[in-house]
Amino acid sequence: MEGLCEKPRKLIHKELSSQNLDTVTYKDIRNINRNTHKARSSKLLPLPTDIEERHKALFVVQVQTISKEQFLLVNDWEENIVMFYCKTNVQYF
C-alpha cells in the first residue's frame, strides 16, 4: 500500500524477484493482481453518482498544486459551476 502510484506489474516483479520463488503460476499472478486492486480501491473514495455528490467530493478533497496553492477556486453548487485555476496563473494575464 506504500506504492499506490506504482504499476501493479512492477510491484509484483519486484516482490517475486526478492523472494527467489521457483514456481509461480498464472493463477497466482492473477490472484495477486486482484488482491492488489481490491486493497488499492478500498483506499479510494467512491465515485459520485450525481451533481450534488460531485460538488461535495470536490469540496472535501481540497485540490492543490505542487506549491500547495489551492487549485479549485470556484465550486458553485447553485449554478453547477466548477473552475480549476490558481491565482498565480491568473496574474500572468
| pTM metric for this prediction | 0.44
With 60 as the cut, is the pLDDT of residue 84 above it? yes
Q: How confident is the model at residue 2 (pLDDT cuts 50, 70, 90)?
A: low
With 60 as the cut, is the pLDDT of residue 32 above it? yes
Query: Across all residues in the chain, what is the average pLDDT?
Result: 79
With 70 as the cut, is the pLDDT of residue 1 above it? no
Q: What is the pLDDT of residues 33-52, one digit of tens each?
A: 888 888 878 877 778 888 88
Angle between helices 8-19 and 26-43 (to 10 degrees): 130
Biggest CA pair distance of the chain? 61
